[in-house]
């Protein structure tokens, strides 16, 4: 159980890890800043002591060394350093080196702008040193100038900075640990705000109502809104299924009832003519039920408005539409209908699904073959204007009375008085497929003499 739990992703662990790593980096950065600050402080203190040592050496030479020499005791104190080695030098303008290390000299121009005690960095025998220098009149010879230099290694400064750092690290670590514990408690308490939402969802059985934004933390609103979107899609799918069942029951009730009646006729009669007539009716009803079931399935597919990756592709209507029309020419010839195509030679591109376009065009042609009548003329036309592509199917049949044109495209609607059998789903399928392609369907009278013109306006694809 423990392995399963640790093997899964944990929001709590991820949040704590996300916080812990920056806290550790903060500890390292704070330690570096502390060390730099301690080193600056140590440098400031040692620089002040270095100046004091230089002034002390000057005072010593003025009061206790009438010949300008430095006693051995004073030399020992100046050079003694338990962790390294210190240096000093005294130079006379007349006599050169008076005492100390001859290599300890300030850089040229150090006293150009000021005669006060000056600090500088120097390197002697591969040792980095910090030095202080002062120029003064020889107290025993007013015509002579003395240059007094005192230098020390940097070791003590770094040791003191390290000691300060080591003293501060435990306190900083404790502070970081306390901050981490507070964050852990905050994350634990904050995640408990998800418990009511989890309980609410767990108590649902078939309820797909939206969760809503009320009492939902702002940070998880994107998640709950995504869940609400999923619920909405599920409600749509369930409604689609329920509608399909209702449509199927509505459309198949009549042919199934007819099948039962004619089957009983065939069983009850011994007359071959009656039996043959009943079987003929049964065959026609089976064909009608078969066509209706196919159109119901097509309508269900067409009503799925969600686009998924790979559903659509660039289609050149100037190539696709003539090919699809050509597939139906033999049926038009059998029905004694002149089916033709008119369109430009140049490409007309849309973003669409070829199978849905074929389903839509087949239903438009079926509608014309069924209702235009023998000897009719049906034309499929393509054109473009501005950023739109127009697909038009027009016939010169009896057409649709103006009072009923607005209802074309409704499910199960059939123009009253039509002699041809139909399910009333063909134009509804066309309507749904057009909506899937963000296209608009318009119906017109083809001419004053009759006929129907179906015009579908597609948005052009910019290539």
Q: What is the CATH number of the domain that holds 327?
A: 3.30.565.10
In the numeric block, which tokens belong to residue 418? 């039509």
In a domain, 419, yes or no: yes
User: What's the structural domain count of the chain?
Assistant: 3
- C-alpha 214/C-alpha 208 separation (Å) is 16
| pLDDT-above-90 percentage for the chain | 12
Q: What is the CATH number of the domain that holds 278?
A: 1.10.287
Looking at residue 441, its pLDDT comes to 92
What element of type H or E holds 296?
helix 272-302
Residues 255 and 355 in one domain: no
Residues 297 and 343 in one domain: no
In a domain, 376, yes or no: yes
Residues 298 and 223 in one domain: yes
* pTM of the model as a whole: 0.44
Residues 281 and 390 in one domain: no
In a domain, 439, yes or no: yes
Q: What is the CATH number of the domain that holds 64?
A: 3.30.450
Smallest CA-to-CA distance from 360 within 431, 293, 296, 408 is with 431
Find the domain containing 393 and state its range.
Answer: 313-459
Residues 103 and 153 in one domain: yes
Residues 58 and 120 in one domain: yes
* 319 has a pLDDT exceeding 90: yes
Q: Backbone dihedral region of 406: left (phi > 0), alpha (psi from -120 to 50 degrees) or beta?
A: alpha
Rg (CA), the chain: 49
In a domain, 403, yes or no: yes
**pLDDT: which is higher, 204 or 53:** 53
Please tell me the least confidently modeled range out of 117-126, 370-379, 401-410.
Answer: 401-410
Smallest CA-to-CA distance from 216 within 227, 207, 232, 206 is with 227
In a domain, 7, yes or no: no
In a domain, 184, yes or no: no
- Which of 302, 329, 352 is where one domain is finished? 302
| Alpha helix stretches (DSSP H) within 203-271 | 221-268
Residues 289 and 318 in one domain: no
In a domain, 393, yes or no: yes
Residues 150 and 255 in one domain: no
Summarised one tens digit per residue, pLDDT across range 166-181 is: 888 888 888 888 888 8
Residues 260 and 130 in one domain: no
- C-alpha 205/C-alpha 220 separation (Å) is 23
Looking at residue 257, its pLDDT comes to 73
Residues 334 and 435 in one domain: yes
Looking at residue 459, its pLDDT comes to 92
Residues 401 and 366 in one domain: yes
Residues 70 and 113 in one domain: yes
- Give 109-130 as a 3 state SS string: CCCCCCCCCEEEEEEECCEEEE
Smallest CA-to-CA distance from 77 within 67, 64, 96, 66 is with 64
Summarised one tens digit per residue, pLDDT across range 42-88 is: 889 988 988 888 888 777 776 655 555 555 555 655 555 555 567 88
In a domain, 410, yes or no: yes
- Which of 94, 128, 161 is where one domain is finished? 161
Phi and psi of 147, rounded to 5°?
-120, 115
């Amino acid at each position: 159980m423990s392995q399963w739990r640790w093997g899964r992703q944990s929001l709590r662990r991820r949040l704590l890890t996300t916080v812990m790593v920056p806290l550790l980096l903060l500890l390292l950065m704070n330690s570096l800043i502390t060390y730099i600050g301690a080193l600056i402080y140590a440098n400031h203190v040692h620089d002040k002591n270095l100046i004091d040592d230089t002034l002390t050496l000057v005072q010593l030479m003025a009061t206790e060394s009438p010949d300008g020499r430095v006693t051995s005791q004073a030399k020992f104190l100046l050079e003694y350093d338990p962790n390294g080695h210190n240096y000093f030098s005294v130079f006379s303008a007349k006599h050169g080196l008076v005492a100390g290390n001859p290599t300890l000299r300030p850089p040229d121009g150090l006293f150009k702008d000021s005669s006060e005690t000056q600090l500088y960095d120097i390197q002697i025998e591969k040792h980095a040193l910090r030095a202080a220098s002062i120029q003064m009149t020889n107290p025993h010879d007013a015509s002579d100038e003395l240059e007094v230099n005192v230098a020390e290694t940097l070791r003590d400064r770094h040791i003191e900075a390290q000691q300060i750092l080591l003293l501060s690290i435990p306190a900083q670590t404790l502070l970081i640990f306390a901050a981490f514990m507070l964050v852990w408690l905050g994350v634990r308490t904050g995640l408990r705000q998800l418990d009511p939402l989890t309980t609410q969802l767990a108590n649902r059985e078939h309820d797909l109502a939206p969760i809503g934004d009320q009492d939902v933390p702002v940070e998880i609103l994107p998640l709950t809104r995504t869940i609400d979107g999923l619920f909405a899609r599920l409600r749509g799918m369930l409604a689609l299924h329920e509608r399909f069942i209702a449509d199927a029951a509505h459309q198949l009730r009549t042919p199934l009832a007819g099948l039962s009646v004619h089957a009983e006729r065939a069983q009850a009669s011994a007359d071959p003519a009656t039996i043959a007539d009943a079987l003929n009716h049964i065959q026609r009803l089976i064909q009608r039920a078969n066509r209706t079931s196919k159109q119901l399935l097509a309508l269900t597919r067409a009503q799925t408005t969600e686009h998924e990756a790979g559903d659509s592709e660039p289609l050149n209507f100037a190539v696709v539409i003539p090919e699809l029309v050509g597939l139906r020419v033999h049926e038009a010839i059998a029905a004694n209908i002149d089916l033709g195509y008119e369109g430009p030679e140049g490409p007309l591109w849309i973003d669409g699904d070829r199978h849905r376009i074929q389903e839509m065009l087949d239903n438009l042609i079926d509608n014309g073959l069924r209702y235009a009548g023998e000897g009719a003329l049906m034309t499929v036309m393509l054109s473009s204007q501005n950023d739109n592509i127009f697909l038009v199917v027009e016939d010169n049949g009896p057409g649709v009375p103006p009072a009923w044109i607005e209802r074309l495209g409704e499910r199960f609607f059939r123009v009253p008085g039509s002699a041809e059998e139909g399910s009333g789903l063909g134009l509804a399928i066309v309507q749904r497929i057009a909506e899937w392609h963000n296209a608009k369907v318009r119906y017109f009278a083809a001419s004053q003499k009759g006929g129907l013109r179906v015009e579908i306006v597609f948005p052009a694809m910019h290539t």
